[in-house]
Copies of this chain bind each other. A is one copy, B any other.
Amino acid sequence: MHHIDEDNITGAVIARHTAAGDARVRELMTSLVQHLHGFARDIKLSEAEWAEGLRFLNECGELRSDQRDEFQLLSDTLGLSTLVTALNQRRPPGCTESTPAGPLHAAGPPLGSQGGDDCHVRGRVRALDGTPIAGAQVQIGQADADGSCSVSYPGGSLSGADGRFQLKARLAGPCTIARDGPVGRLLRALGRHSWRPAHLHFMVSAAGWRPLVTQVFRRGDPYLESDAAFGARRSLVADWVRHGPGRAPDGGTSLAPFYTLDFDFVLDKA
């Protein structure tokens, strides 16, 4: 019987995986064990820290509900979600960049029922060479009006023959991810805030084109450089233009000030 110590335990675990039925599962778990052990070894994880880590993971899982996914929040705030999206959503330069889908897709109230100024979103869905993409479905989502980042996708629009779409949302402000759980505690311990810059979520799909999940951010937002979820990036920042009361882009007359956001979505072939 062999001896087990801190040097050979990693090899001993990996050697057990030779009978895995699926080669990808074996590859995944081999890499996971190597990195997990590498982490513990590099920082000489203490027994108390290890126990605290297990408590943290259990606390995350115990919070799970229809409205809450603390592990996704953890993934978002540690940049893992952004990395996984980047690894899988490589697109040619000039195509609209993809972002993670955001903290949670919850069924929510229709956009019209939320407070705040109207924000008219308009633009074109097009190919890299400028060709309009007709019949594309553009779904919009935004954070709840309570300032939390829970996302609802209440409405959508189909692009016309010229690729143009138009949607009405509410003006978005900065929102905060849930901070009353273990992830919020972790961010505070790291000296980090839990704010995300003002943004709108979009899902754009059209037959023959690669589906796009992305977010558009408001230029000038104080949290653009420190998005708690690492979604904000240069190519997705746009001007949200304020207009006084008067004729709105949807043809109606607005008695209150309103905003317009112009943004084109450039899709890649499927």
| Chain A contact residues: helix, strand, loop or mixed | helix
For residue A11, give the distance in angstroms from its CB to the closest CB of chain B.
Answer: 10
Residues of B within 8 A of A79 (CB): 9-10, 12-13, 33, 37
Place the interface of chain A in its size category.
35 or more
A84 touches B50 (CB 8 A): yes
Within 8 Å of chain B (Cβ to Cβ): is A210? no
Whether A83 contacts B41 in the complex (CB less than 8 A), given A54-B72, A230-B12, comes out as yes
Within 8 Å of chain B (Cβ to Cβ): is A28? yes
Residues of B within 8 A of A189 (CB): 20-22, 25
For residue A201, give the distance in angstroms from its CB to the closest CB of chain B.
Answer: 16
Within 8 Å of chain B (Cβ to Cβ): is A192? yes
B43 touches A39 (CB 8 A): no
Within 8 Å of chain B (Cβ to Cβ): is A88? yes
B17 touches A192 (CB 8 A): yes
A contacts, CB < 8 Å to B: 1-6, 9-10, 12-13, 16-22, 25-29, 31-47, 49-50, 54, 57-64, 69, 71-72, 75, 78-88, 186, 189-192, 224-226, 230, 232-235, 237
8 A-B pairs with least C-beta separation = A61-B61, A19-B191, A6-B86, A13-B79, A35-B39, A35-B35, A4-B233, A50-B84
